[in-house]
Amino acid sequence: MAFLSVNINKIAVLRNSRGGSEPDPAVAARAALAAGCHGITVHPRPDQRHIRVDDVARVAAVLGAAEYNIEGNPFAPPRGSYPGLVELARSVRPAQVTLVPDGDAQVTSDHGFDLARDGARVAPLIRAFKDIGARVSLFMDAGSDGIERVAELGADRIEIYTGPYAHAFAAGDASRELDACVRTAERARACGLGINAGHDLNQKNLGALKRAIPFLDEVSIGHALIGEAIYAGLAETIRNYLAILGES
């Protein structure tokens, strides 16, 4: 069964919209783990518009043996209290670091790495995260011609950007985008890479993806899961996702 990592950024967005300390991402992480998820994802950005630097350590403190996945742009320099992704990871030593080429102007991550352009820059950063003891995953577009390059650079996994698949699924015909995800996963597997997936996955589209990629290692889901939990409750929503991953 693929691991479910719950992204709790939206909890921090809600807190920050009002100020103060509630709802608390660390408490949300504890509740998600109690419901059975395998790990927690946070995606701190330099502008700290949702997960803040202090959240990263507070969430780490409640995880126990569960997996901690920290996402972020490895190229973003320190700013204010944000120390940079390498130093942030070094402070808590997560099980996994997912590198994402996003900038402040992006509302959310919307593309994977172009390794023909950025491979030389990302290679020493991959080594730095692995020296910390973290597994390293690179956020990659389905159909990218850089999948083999990920393995050459020393990363451990890819995370397939599933936004285009999710949008096509919602429109009623996901066959082309799903095939792109499958072919990308197969190429990654042939290189010895693990396969994660994330972005816009939900209870409607996750099952088809998991059936098509039965060797999927992990999915990271936040926006849809937290939105669905507003109506059904966090524990029930997480159990629904676990059932989808187990039955597919």
Does 153 score more than 50 pLDDT? yes
Instruction: Name the band, by pLDDT with cuts 50, 70 and 90, for residue 248.
Output: very low
For residue 179, the model assigns a pLDDT of 98
- Segment 149-161 shows an average pLDDT of 98
Query: Which residues are CB-neighbours of 182 under 8 A, at least 6 positions away?
Result: 212, 213
Does 119 score more than 90 pLDDT? yes
pTM (two decimals): 0.95
Instruction: Name the band, by pLDDT with cuts 50, 70 and 90, for residue 107.
Output: low
What is the pairing mode between strands 67-72 and 218-221? Answer: unpaired
Walk me through the domains of the chain, giving residue ranges and CATH numbers: 3-247 (3.20.20.70)
As a whole-number percent, the residues of the chain with pLDDT over 70 amount to 96
Catalytic residue among 50, 177, 199, 218: 199
Q: List, for residues 83-106, the tens digit of each pLDDT value.
A: 999 999 999 999 999 999 986 655
Active site residue 199: yes
Catalytic residue among 43, 177, 218, 228: 43
* Residue ranges in the chain assigned as alpha helix (H): 9-18, 25-34, 53-60, 85-92, 115-132, 147-153, 163-171, 175-190, 206-212, 223-232, 234-247
The closest of 7, 112, 15, 11 to 67, measured between CA atoms, is: 7
Catalytic residue among 38, 50, 71, 218: 71
State whether residue 5 is helix, strand or coil.
strand
Active site residue 71: yes
Give the span between the Cα atoms of 74 and 97, in whole angstroms: 10
Read out DSSP for 76-141?
PPPBTTB--HHHHHHHH--SEEEE----TT-SS------HHHHHHHHHHHHHHHHHHT-EEEEEEE
